[in-house]
Amino acid sequence: MKLLSCTVFLMTLLLSFVATSYASSTAEKNIKIEQAVALAMSTFQVPGVAVAIIKDNKVVMSKGFGVIEQGKSAKVTADTLFGIASNTKAMTAALLANLVDEGKLTWQTKVIDIIPEFQMPDAYVTREFTITDLLAHNSGLGKGAGDLMIWPHTTLTNADVIKGLKYLPEASSFRSEFAYDNLLYIVGGEVIARITGQTWNEVVQARIFTPLGMKNTRAAFSLIGENNKNVARAHVPLKGKLNVVGGNFIERFGAAASVASSVNDMSLWLQTQLNHGAYGNELSGKSARLFSAEQSRFMWQARTILPVKEEETQQDKTHFSAYGLGWFMKDYHGVKLIHHSGGILGMVSKVVLVPEEDLAMVILTNQQSGYAFNAIYQQILNEYLELPEKDWIAYYHEKQQKNAEKEKKRLAKAADSVHKNSAHSLALRDYAQTYVDNWYGEIKVSFKNNKLHMQFSNTEDLKGTLEHYQHNTFIVRWHDRTLEADAFVNFNLNEEGTINYATMKAVSKATDFSFDFHDLKLRPKK
């Protein structure tokens, strides 16, 4: 009996020691991570960051850093709401998986069977397009094709997006290449709405936020209560100074990118993902599932293959990279990462899951530096996967500087090749017309005070002044400089010397791909 008591005592002591050692180890990891967050914020000029880490089904960190708005005193907390942008896409995929489990549709259901007016540029693609195809980024359209219908804030609707799809230019064969898109996730949201008879906003609230206990999360910023002041402001750096921006958070097109959430709430979402759809009481034996384990596996399977750079193989031991349904995936030092990033004007975020290690993390920021969140998430992986030490902040800072210098040289070279003494073929007032693009709509060029001005009719923020570049090419300088999206406007003349059509293209390669000016073909309105 004494021997048994002694054994129990020793076992208890051992378990206590292991628990204390684990807690100490976790605390040491988190101290290094907090130091990395602070350094990343100062290096990349980020006012506020929130981070949560889940390990072995426990939240081991959920914390805010910095301030909600530059120059103000309110601190970021674990409950501060940020725009998660395209991390919303995994929620749309989960809602579709939920409907598959209910037998309301299958992954191979044809989109036209639910949305009869759905049309892609090619009739075969229209006929064969499935629910899976909506989420896999291999539609044959180009990267960000048609995003000007949803960004910046527009007067267009889901119906306009669906109507415009057939007019977008094809960039590749159907299901042959990866090209990130937003519009087809919006169509996915419309599928959910038509099957349930509710809006996407209502469904995501009822089927994800409420049952998972995500009490502060909202389907759109406009749905945040006026009394909740714990909401991050977005920041854009220009010439070393941070500019507060806000409002353009894709309110009308929720299924692609509109959710506002906190790291406390996102922890509940990530735990559900790690538990393959189970949440709440299911973990203690009672039934509560957002989606089945079968659907979890389906969403985490590679659908569209992405290229892997040699640097990634050498540095991260990455040999494959792919997109599933709402998630990117790749191998990383011998484990599989399930991940996604999100970006809207002035805010970026990152979500990473390592299912084999029962590890997940979310990083929310109120500045649009992808270098910052990449450095932070890599540092977290370093600590929790116990990888060789590396200064990720220094690595991404050097990368930022190299990319900026490369773009600066490219623009300077382009400027040197301009025919500075060339003249436009027509009088300025002859360029002033209303132009029409089949998928976007009207864009007006007006003549006033001896200058040309451009206004996108469906997008209030896209207004600017045209300055002559060379020949019949101008550059539109947007009045809102935080957009960082100035674009060439090239007028093509016909044999009669009048304008046949105009095309556009971003001046800088650093311009966000959602400014897909290059997909426009503007013809004078008759």
Supply 93's token pair.
Answer: 């995929």
- Contact (CB, 8 A) for 341 and 348: yes
- Cα distances (Å, whole numbers) of residue 266 to 54, 185, 352, 502: 10, 20, 12, 45
* Mean pLDDT over the full length of the chain: 93
402 located within any domain: no
Say if residue 137 is in the same domain as residue 61: yes
Say if residue 358 is in the same domain as residue 432: no
pLDDT category at 452 given cuts 50, 70, 90 is very high
- Contact (CB, 8 A) for 266 and 50: no
Res 369: pLDDT: 93
Residue-wise pLDDT for 77-97, tens only, equals: 999 999 999 999 999 999 999
Res 12: pLDDT: 57
> Angle of helix 392-416 relative to helix 2-43, nearest 10 degrees?
20
Average pLDDT over residues 107-136: 98
Answering whether pTM is above 0.85, one says yes
Residue 309 is part of which domain span? 44-368
Say if residue 443 is in the same domain as residue 323: no
Whether 467 has a pLDDT exceeding 50, the answer reads yes
Res 6: pLDDT: 53
Whether 16 has a pLDDT exceeding 80, the answer reads no
Q: What is the CATH number of the domain that holds 90?
A: 3.40.710.10
417 located within any domain: no
Say if residue 268 is in the same domain as residue 175: yes
Average pLDDT over residues 266-271: 98
Domain closes at, from 316, 349, 368: 368
Say if residue 251 is in the same domain as residue 176: yes
Say if residue 182 is in the same domain as residue 254: yes
223 located within any domain: yes
Domain closes at, from 368, 385, 409: 368
Largest CA distance in the chain: 107
Say if residue 229 is in the same domain as residue 356: yes
Res 251: pLDDT: 85
Whether 243 has a pLDDT exceeding 90, the answer reads yes
- Contact (CB, 8 A) for 372 and 117: no
Say if residue 351 is in the same domain as residue 446: no
Say if residue 341 is in the same domain as residue 453: no
Res 141: pLDDT: 98
Lowest mean pLDDT among 15-19, 191-195, 230-234: 15-19
Whether 313 has a pLDDT exceeding 60, the answer reads yes
Nearest to 253 by CA among 202, 187, 205, 326: 187
- Contact (CB, 8 A) for 63 and 78: yes
Whether 100 has a pLDDT exceeding 80, the answer reads yes
The torsion of the CA quartet 377, 332, 273, 16, rounded to 10 degrees, works out to -80
Average pLDDT over residues 10-18: 50
Res 4: pLDDT: 46
pLDDT category at 19 given cuts 50, 70, 90 is very low
Nearest to 187 by CA among 165, 169, 170: 165
Say if residue 238 is in the same domain as residue 337: yes
- Contact (CB, 8 A) for 262 and 252: no
β-partners of residue 65 are 49
Q: What residue type is 142 in one-letter code?
A: G
Residue-wise pLDDT for 38-55, tens only, equals: 999 999 999 999 999 999
Q: What residue type is 47 in one-letter code?
A: P
27 located within any domain: no
Percent of the chain whose predicted confidence (pLDDT) is above 70:
94
Res 414: pLDDT: 84
494 HSE (CA, 13 A, CB side):
7
Instruction: Go through 420-444 and write b for each residue having 16 or more CB atoms within 10 A of its CB, e for each that does not.
Output: eeeebeeeeeebbbebbbebbbebe
Res 5: pLDDT: 56
Res 411: pLDDT: 87
Radius of gyration over alpha carbons of the chain, in Å? Answer: 25
Whether 247 has a pLDDT exceeding 70, the answer reads no
- Cα distances (Å, whole numbers) of residue 413 to 56, 407, 416, 422, 472: 53, 10, 5, 18, 20
207 located within any domain: yes
Average pLDDT over residues 342-358: 96
For the chain, give the number of residues.
Answer: 526
Nearest to 82 by CA among 50, 43, 36, 120: 50
β-partners of residue 337 are 330
Cα(153)–Cα(143) distance, integer angstroms: 19
Domain closes at, from 322, 344, 368: 368
Q: What residue type is 297 in one-letter code?
A: R
Say if residue 120 is in the same domain as residue 51: yes
Average pLDDT over residues 413-421: 85
DSSP states of 310-325 as a string? HHHHHHH----EEE-S
Q: What is the CATH number of the domain that holds 506?
A: 2.40.128.50
134 located within any domain: yes
Res 245: pLDDT: 92
Cα(221)–Cα(249) distance, integer angstroms: 7
Cα(371)–Cα(374) distance, integer angstroms: 5
Cα(330)–Cα(309) distance, integer angstroms: 12
- Cα distances (Å, whole numbers) of residue 490 to 276, 464, 505: 51, 15, 9
Residue 150 gets which letter from DSSP?
A: T
Percent of the chain whose predicted confidence (pLDDT) is above 90:
89
404 located within any domain: no
Total tally of structural domains belonging to the chain: 2
Res 18: pLDDT: 45
Residue-wise pLDDT for 183-200, tens only, equals: 999 999 999 999 999 999
34 located within any domain: no
Say if residue 453 is in the same domain as residue 362: no
